[in-house]
Amino acid sequence: MIKKKSQCRMSCRIVFVLFPGFQQLDLAGPMAVFEVAQLARHGSYQWRLCASAPPSVRSSAGVTWPVQALPRQCGPSDLVMVIGGDGVDAACCDTALLRWLQRASRSGARMASICSGSLILAAAGLLRHRMATTHWSRNRQFAHEFPEVQLQLDRIFVRNPARTGGQDPQPEVWTSAGMTAGIDLCLAIVSHDCGEEVAKEAARQLVVERRRAGGQSQFSPLLERQRPDGRFGALLDHIRLHLQDDHRVDALAARMCMSPRHFARCFREETGSTPAQVIERLRVEAARAALEAGQPSVQRVAMDCGFVNAERMRRSFQRVFGRPPAAFRKSRTRPM
């Protein structure tokens, strides 16, 4: 049992926004985090399940959930959290929902999304010229439909602080990469609201890491490498086999008989990533495999994988995995 402590420094009403075909785990994980935090700091969080078409919503698992109507008013003490799921494409066309999200944003409410729910925030115009992430399987769709959003392809979650000055004030906006990444996001929100100790206690109760190292690439293969029949499949194979080469955009474009600008645009539309991002990931994953296989020299691995030196490889490992190369050498299984 969690021992109740003093009041949290803020009280927050959470509006979980559901839609037909939402993913139940996208909802259950965040609810569990806030439940534990609420018990630890009594009164810090209250929540309701809402949708644009009450009184019930059917999840992708076929379970019907009772919901309330979307609140008429929101304010700075509210957190609006949009859940993801297979029904997100239809929800992006729900004009009543999108208009409500815009009003909630203008009222100063904090905005957040779990997994593919970020597409709904983007459809409402709430992520324009701001950073966001989404589930890796939606990267290409997101990049194509919302090019004005600064999509972060390998982040567990992204926080945009509130913008309070100027002619275009914007609220705080959080987006997470997937179902379980929503737990990471909510733990970060709890830490922001109630302090790090409450977040740590919630993580202990849920038996999860308080801060998970790495990004999405450690959990799922890149889509473009699973499509050898795609437009750039042969090019990616070439890069993978020649990691030491200097793969500049103009050289890659020439190999595809395309102009550099046309190549860069088509490559991003096809893969959801820039050429530089894909090359870096191919290199770090090859380097990680070499280190985990027992290659003793970090410098040698860096040279073999096209990093030029160990320091450049270290920076890439921190950017992609959130850990240095040495961490993967230590993770090797030792003989009995």
Question: What's the pLDDT at 165?
Answer: 66
* Pairwise pLDDT comparison (333 vs 284), residue with the higher score: 284
Residue closest to 52 by CA, chosen among 75, 71, 30:
71
Lowest mean pLDDT, pick from 98-107, 162-171, 301-310? 162-171
Question: What's the pLDDT at 211?
Answer: 66
Task: Tell me the per-residue pLDDT of 103-137, one tens digit each, with 9 for 90 and over.
Answer: 999 999 999 999 999 999 999 999 999 999 999 88
CATH topology of domain 12-218: Rossmann fold (3.40.50)
Kindly state the tokens that stand for 89.
């494409």
CATH topology of domain 223-330: Arc Repressor Mutant, subunit A (1.10.10)
The pLDDT-based confidence of 295 (bands split at 50, 70, 90) is: confident
Cβ(95)–Cβ(53) under 8 Å? no
Task: Tell me the per-residue pLDDT of 42-91, one tens digit each, with 9 for 90 and over.
Answer: 568 999 999 999 999 999 999 999 999 999 999 999 999 999 999 999 99
Cβ(282)–Cβ(240) under 8 Å? yes
Question: What's the pLDDT at 139?
Answer: 87
Q: How far is CA 215 from the centre of its chain?
A: 8
Question: What's the pLDDT at 210?
Answer: 73
3-state secondary structure 240-269: HHCCCCCCCHHHHHHHCCCCHHHHHHHHHH
Cβ(209)–Cβ(148) under 8 Å? no
* Pairwise pLDDT comparison (147 vs 269), residue with the higher score: 147
Same fold flag, 12-218 and 223-330: no
Alpha-carbon gap, residue 136 to 119, rounded angstroms = 12
In the block, tokens 């630890």 appear at: 40
pLDDT at 185 over 90: yes
* Pairwise pLDDT comparison (279 vs 8), residue with the higher score: 279
What is the pTM for the complete model shown? 0.66
Lowest mean pLDDT, pick from 94-108, 145-159, 201-215, 270-284? 201-215
**In the chain, what are the domain boundaries?**
12-218, 223-330
Question: What's the pLDDT at 335?
Answer: 38
Query: What sign does the CA torsion over 179, 184, 189, 190 have?
Result: positive
Alpha-carbon gap, residue 36 to 187, rounded angstroms = 10
Kindly report the length of the chain.
Answer: 336
Q: Supply the Cα-derived Rg of the chain in whole angstroms.
A: 22
